[in-house]
Structure 1
Amino acid sequence: MKRQSGLSLVELMVALVLGLIVVAAVIELFISSRQLYRVQDVKARMQEDGRFAMYRIGELLDRAGYRGCASVRNQAATDDDTQTDGSQQSSGRPIQNLLTTESDYFWQLDAPVQGHNANGNVWAPAKPGALNNANVGSDILTIRTVGATYIPIIAKQASYFSVGADNGLDDCDPALEPNSCSNIVMVSNCNDFTTVFQVTNDPSNGELRYAPNVGVPGNRNEDLIGEYGPTSWVNTIASHSFYVRDNVDGTPSLYQKTLDNNAEAILEGVEQMQVTYGVDTNGDFSVDRYESANDVDFWTDVISVRVSLVMINLEDDGTDTNLALGDGSYFLEGVEVTPNDGRLRRVFTKTIMLKNRNS
């Protein structure tokens, strides 16, 4: 038998081709696995971010319209029972707003929610100028609600409330820091009125004063309607506006503006927000229809809010494209949207009932 002394050229070429095929298969498997990992990692982060955004908005909507023991429906405005949105409320315990800015957008605390529907670069109703740089085509949602701070009243004195020294309010004096010290609170009980005012002293001494013309925005007077005794309590109260704008890096982000403070980016990768409102037109505590903000006649008729957020993929290395399978289309409010930039998107939608509006 003839002994083999080596490989022929043909055999070598066949071996090289087979080796290349194996290497190519391994490389393809690696690329596919890496791409699958990228997609799953991005989807997981989008899921986490979407849930966080909905939680942030939802927890405020859960408290929207809180007025002590009464819901917004059972409260009337001071004097002529006319709200800042023009609606009429039933007779009941009124909410008294002592702030000098009660008619300004961010201080209209008698309306639990208010929105602005985007049509291109125009919003209806017109958005306040303070919500600047909002991205076109994205709605704006403002929620007015109490905070988590709860302060029981020890006693009502002639011109102040006695409370505990460790009350959770900012330890500052609005007379000395008028532009940065604004403890806005609401005092309530189950038998009398509800009053919104600014604390006009440093509350660390256990006193909550409400003198006129101190601080910003300040109180227009100190004439509280009603009696507030030891069965009363105090909550912080504020308005929070959510909208989408680009951050300093040009990334679309969800911003939150509290009262007239500077807006802060709370979450990157939110490309769009759309909001509709469940309206109760006959007072039976159920939604009769969902409307865009420009179709809502009276904001005190809104009993639920449906929020949709379009999340877009972000990666630390800037490789945000070529992740979507196919055309990456998605549905938003019943309309199919088909981007062509190769990026992943996911829509998160949640409907939240206004608990303090339905009783």
Structure 2
Amino acid sequence: MKCVSAQRGLSLVEVMVALALAMILTLGLTQIFVANSQSFRMAEASSRVQETGRLATGFLAREIRNADYWGCLRDLTNLNSTLNDDSAFNVDALMRGLDVEDGVGAGGSDRLALGGVNGNSDIEVTFQPSQQAANLRVNESESFNDGDIVIVTNCKNGDVFEITDVKDANEVVVHNAGSSTGGVGNSTQKLSTNYNDDPNGARVFRPRSQRFYLQDNGGRRELVTDGVNVFGNLSGTGTYSSAVALLEDVQDFQVQLGVDSNGDDRVDSWEDSDGTAAQADSAIAIRYSLLIRSPDDNVTDGGVSYCYPGWLDCESDLTLLTQVAATDTFFYRVYTTTTSLRNRIGGG
């Protein structure tokens, strides 16, 4: 009969070797997981930043291209205002196609204002009793309200006034002189011309003045828009409406004007805004740079460097690199675009 040898367990050395191998394997798997997780966060941050940059530049480019459109009226020197100049609202601002204010937004960012009218109009003037009359008969008055600010033009002349009454039964809008409750009011009812004299007739448009700038909101910075209220059925006609957020995590917004100094439809110089109407009125293009930040922190290993605004030559002058604080581990990207004002090129 054979004797079965005694069973023996693992030695201490074998156990330690096995534990060491298991630990090495666990650390390797953990490192792979952390690396993949970091790569995923970076990819997601890059995607979110790219989407915000694409939407912001696309939206602003569309608005800039359409700015300074006043229907068929090409020369704004023939656009007259009957609105009260002593109102709380700056009437001249409503009649500007472009304005840039330097450093007035959050973090020293710029503010861009674009004006004009809201596209083509189907509202035609069918009869005007006289140049001094306070009535205009139109083909459709139901879309108007008391207190609306409108522009009437026959392509050669134009007038901005506030509607003081709407008579839908007769398809008539009234623009009497006097103050307006909650609005701007008219200083006179007399218009600059008789709109019956033009065989092509005249049309009524709604003006608009839209501003774009940055503001801080609960620790995040966002691109917002507001505009002049030209609707009488809303409160505060002639004042700026409350800001509406467009996109979050836009950290900076800088604007330069492409000035055409000799009228040849070419940009002669790129200039920061000096706040004058003369400079803004001679601009035919705008270039703007947006600094976009990732929504979440802990994306990068440390503070990153970026060249901002995008038109700086940071490769030649490294001192122009803007350094983000080392404690900031957000992901940043700069988007810079140039857009022409098509209504100012080639006569409009």
Q: TM-score range by the shorter chain?
A: 0.7 to 0.9
Check if 1:163 corresponds to 2:163.
no
Q: TM-score scaled to structure 2, two decimals?
A: 0.79
Which of 290, 300, 304 pairs up with 2:285?
304
Check if 1:339 corresponds to 2:339.
no
Match of 2:56 in 1: 53
C-alpha spacing 1:154/1:194, structure 2 compared with 1 (3 Å) = closer
C-alpha spacing 1:45/1:350, structure 2 compared with 1 (3 Å) = same
Contact 1:242 1:256 in 2 (8 A): yes
Q: Distance in 2 between matches of 1:15 and 1:143?
A: 72
Deviations 1:77-117 (A, max 9, x none): 2xxxxxxxxxxxxxxxx111222249954642443111122
Deviations 1:264-305 (A, max 9, x none): 332221111110000010011110000000276532101111
Contact 1:139 1:273 in 2 (8 A): yes
**1:4 Cα deviation from its structure 2 partner:** 7.3
Contact 1:312 1:344 in 2 (8 A): yes
Contact 1:311 1:345 in 2 (8 A): yes
Contact 1:68 1:189 in 2 (8 A): no
Contact 2:73 2:157 in 1 (8 A): no
> Over the residues paired in the alignment, what is the CA RMSD in angstroms?
2.8
Check if 1:284 corresponds to 2:268.
no
SS at match of 2:47: helix
Alignment of 1:189-338 (within 5 A): 189-190=154-155, 192-201=156-165, 206-213=171-178, 214-215=180-181, 216-228=183-195, 231-247=201-217, 249-259=218-228, 260-294=240-274, 297-315=278-296, 320=297, 322-324=298-300, 327-333=303-309, 334=312, 335-338=320-323
Which range moves more in the overlay, 267-276 or 107-116? 107-116
Alignment of 1:8-27 (within 5 A): 8-27=11-30
Q: Distance in 1 between matches of 2:266 and 2:6?
A: 93
Match of 2:72 in 1: 69
SS at match of 2:307: strand
Which of 79, 83, 103 pairs up with 1:99?
83
Deviations 1:311-348 (A, max 9, x none): 11113xxxx2x323553111113132110212111111
Q: TM-score scaled to structure 1, two decimals?
A: 0.76
Q: Distance in 2 between matches of 1:44 and 1:106?
A: 43
Aligned amino acid, residue 344 of structure 1: F
**1:11 Cα deviation from its structure 2 partner:** 1.8
C-alpha spacing 1:6/1:282, structure 2 compared with 1 (3 Å) = same
Q: Distance in 2 between matches of 1:209 and 1:31?
A: 71
Q: Unaligned stretches of 5+ in structure 1?
A: 78-93, 124-133, 175-182
Q: Distance in 1 between matches of 2:194 and 2:64?
A: 29
Deviations 1:182-203 (A, max 9, x none): x32222333x212222233358
Corresponding residue pairs, total: 308
Q: Distance in 1 between matches of 2:221 and 2:17?
A: 54
Contact 2:115 2:208 in 1 (8 A): yes
Q: Unaligned stretches of 5+ in structure 2?
A: 130-134, 229-239, 313-319
Q: Distance in 2 between matches of 1:234 and 1:136?
A: 40
